[in-house]
């Protein structure tokens, strides 16, 4: 199953991101960013369904919560960065 991970710069931003998406009717789950894609330091990410990306990015732009990076992920552990 494919899904998107929206990388946030902190837990607080991940919480704000998930809350903004939730208010827009988009299901979002927060968790620690997988080590393979975390980069420097620790970060948190928000997982959304495959078909929600376009709407989610629009909601986040309106809320002033731009995504740091976005990855397409699969349950097998593969990650591919998506250009914003």
User: The whole model's pTM is what?
Assistant: 0.90
* Confidence band, pLDDT 50/70/90 cuts, at residue 76: confident
Could you say which architecture CATH assigns to the domain 2-75? 2-Layer Sandwich (3.30)
Domain ranges for the chain: 2-75
Residues in the chain: 84
For the stretch 12-71, pLDDT in tens is 999 999 999 999 999 999 999 988 887 766 689 999 999 999 999 999 999 999 887 999
Q: In this structure, what DSSP letter does residue 56 have?
A: H
CA 17 – CA 44 distance, rounded (Å)? 11
Tell me whether residue 33 is exposed, middle or buried, using C-beta atoms within 10 angstroms of its C-beta: 0 to 12, 13 to 18, 19 or more.
Answer: buried
């Amino acid at each position: 199953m494919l899904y998107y991970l929206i990388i946030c710069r902190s837990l607080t931003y991940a919480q704000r991101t998930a809350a903004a998406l939730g208010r827009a009717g988009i299901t979002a789950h927060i968790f620690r960013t997988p080590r393979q894609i975390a980069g420097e330091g620790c970060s948190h990410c928000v997982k959304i369904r495959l078909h929600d990306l376009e709407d989610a990015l629009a909601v986040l732009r309106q809320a002033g919560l731009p995504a740091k990076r976005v990855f397409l992920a699969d349950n097998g552990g593969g990650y591919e960065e998506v250009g914003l």
